[in-house]
Amino acid sequence: MMRETEHVVVAPGTENVLATIGPRHAIAATFRPVTMLVAAGAVPVALALALLPFRSQAPAATVALGFAVLVSLLAATGTRLSALVAAVSAALCYDIGFTQPYGSLVISHPQDIETTALLLVGGLIVGQLSARNRSHRTLAVQQREDLAHVQAIAELMAAGSGPDEVVEAVADELRSLLGLRECWFDTSRAERPGPTIDRNGNVSWGRIWWGVDTLGLPGKEITIEVEHDVRRLGRYVLLAEAGTKVRRDQLLAAVTLADQAGAALGAGPVPVALAHR
């Protein structure tokens, strides 16, 4: 689909600043996991040091609750690994600083053993649930983005665009959806058997099922057949960097886009301009 290009006016002397934005984001993304791990280990220690002067006045249950809330917050905002680090750090701080004998890993009271174990297990559970929740949210966003590609073509067809425009727009959407280097429509068949995206979202190469989940997309020409009313109209040829990671939902969306092109072409003969790359 043809999209309007946004024109950005860059003030003189700011080119170097804009050029550093990308690397800065990359550096931040690299150091963020390390920062989260350091914080997960250090924050419970800081809380323990802050509570030590009140050890004789504060009930053990109150101290344990404080650590539990802290671990829950760290686990909810971090990863599974940072949740584990936070839970272990909090359990050790509570054990060493607030269970008798103080300053030792030994715990004399069975109730304190249970509390320390609950701190550890509770942090792990919250971390697991938080990570799963983030994964579900991320997947929901990705699926909305996949649907947006299909919706864009549907709106184009509803506006009465011609088959040639729809076919070219589908190629653009496929490039964006799957992160392709190139994509074009061709009425000819492949000269030799190659990878094909099947209607069920799997990638097959002859009799071999290509493990997209682990291997990513193959670096060879990939075919998506375009059909309408059981009539073959052509194929989309996809070129991706070898190992490009895609989800099965994206491959299914790609098949749907090819079907939309088939529906547009099915109303009449394939335009000559689209018969080849």
Question: Do 47 and 93 meet the contact criterion of CB atoms below 8 Å apart?
Answer: yes
Question: Do 210 and 238 meet the contact criterion of CB atoms below 8 Å apart?
Answer: no
Per-residue pLDDT of 7-32, as tens digits, reads 344 444 444 443 444 555 556 566 77
User: Residue 5: what pLDDT?
Assistant: 38
Tell me the DSSP string of 172-231: HHHHHHHT-SEEEEESSPPSS--EEE-TTS-EEETTEEE-HHHH-B-SS-EEEEEEETTE
User: Residue 25: what pLDDT?
Assistant: 54
User: Residue 28: what pLDDT?
Assistant: 58
User: Residue 24: what pLDDT?
Assistant: 59
Per-residue pLDDT of 175-211, as tens digits, reads 999 999 999 999 998 888 899 999 999 999 988 899 8
Residue 198 amino acid letter: D
10 Å Cβ neighbour count for 130?
A: 19
CA distance 145 to 48: 45
Please state which of the four CATH numbers 2.40.160, 3.30.450, 3.30.870, 3.20.20 is assigned to the domain occupying 160-274. 3.30.450
Q: Name 30's Cβ contacts closer than 8 Å, sequence gap at least 6.
A: none
CA distance 226 to 186: 10
User: Residue 206: what pLDDT?
Assistant: 84
Residues of the chain with pLDDT under 70: 1-30, 268-277
10 Å Cβ neighbour count for 238?
A: 25
Question: Do 158 and 260 meet the contact criterion of CB atoms below 8 Å apart?
Answer: no
Domain boundaries, the chain: 15-138, 160-274
User: Residue 151: what pLDDT?
Assistant: 95
